Amino acid sequence: MGLPGPVHDALPDGWGMSLMDRLFRGRGLNPARIGPLERLTCVGTDAMDARSFAPADTGSAPDEVTIPLAQLAAAVIDRICDSASRFADTVRARFPKAGARIRYNLAMTRLPRCFSLFSRDLPMKQYQALIQDVLDHGNWQENRTGIRTLSIPGAMMRFDLQQGFPAVTTKRLAFKSVVGELAGFLRATRSAATFRDLGCKVWDQNANENADWLANPYRTGEDDLGPVYGVQWRAWPAYKLIDAAHTAQLEDAQRKGFRVVSQLMDEGVPKVLLYKAVDQLRDCLDTIIKSPGSRRILFHGWNCAVLDEIALPACHLLYQFLPNQSTGEISLCLYVRSNDIGLGTPFNLAEGAALLHLVGRLTGYKPRWFSYFIGDAHIYENHLGMVKEQLQRAPFPLPQLAIAERVPDFARTGVYAPEWLEQIEPGDFSLVGYQHHAPITAAMAV
């Protein structure tokens, strides 16, 4: 079946290039695994009954145009990736009855996994959609920083890490800083100096320029941050206060690693105080290895007992790992209580995805779904220019994350080496094929 003349005339040179070469081989996919693709349909607003027709059957501009997808796919991909709006305008101009709306209907004998590239080839459009949502529906709010925010309650994004690493492409991601911070968290550091040594300077202001923290009696000196994220991840301070007469409870607690700190009287009753530093993240990895069907593989950064001892209480605070034995994949759900969309979201997305890749590497699972939930999603007033500029930029395809060969791969070696959580170096992570627009700088609100 041939293309309608007006559509054919509107297409760029080379539109007939092989579907497999353009769409799949060019993205490193195996065309042998792609199912047959049949057609693309453009439906006008006044033709919602979706009447099908063969283009050769009519010479007038119809309500609905059905185009063989196998012939048109390369041009469609060009238009979606480079200028979807111009493609839509072209079809509307050629077929006036299409009105203001065009719907693409893919009719296939089966839906191949790889064809999801049509909707997820540029996943960071989710980030642009989030920015637009906050701009369209946000309300102005005051906050502790003195710089008001445009905020919405509740938002989420979801990324398939098999299709790429969620590095923002509408500006340059400070990737070295991202993995530097992650390495610092994994080492349970509480010092901005350690973060700096690892290539991350984002903690300097919180440690040394935050007036409230500078006056906090729990601050121990220059560069101290208190027991921030990584301390809670790797050494959560856990206490048990047990009645001295309950010997079975005392013995059980000590078998589980608690040690006696003190014996005391509590309201006239003899008690024993015990302490243990809980390595939540290591426990997660152990459970993934020993009991992957568990739905309790999570760690938390919000420790109510020490909130007044920390320069900045945790924003990204709840991580849940979801391994799937049948597919050999592992996914992550991350909840962020408060998220600075301009600076924090791109940073946190990359950091969470890198952590999932590392955990998968050490436990033998392929990283798959990364779901990112936000409580208060906000844009600072002094960041409006930065985020609006990003809305004018077309995202690039996502890069891939590479982890250095020296980091043990459980799937290949069968060797479980969780000690690499603290041995990992920022240089062990790298982005492959990272394309991005020009950097945009903005001040962090402290």
Among candidate residues 42, 200, 315, 333, the one labeled active-site is 315
Which phi and psi angles does 387 have, rounded to 5°?
A: -70, -35
Task: Tell how far CA 104 is from the center of its chain.
Answer: 27
* 315 in catalytic set: yes
Catalytic residues: 315
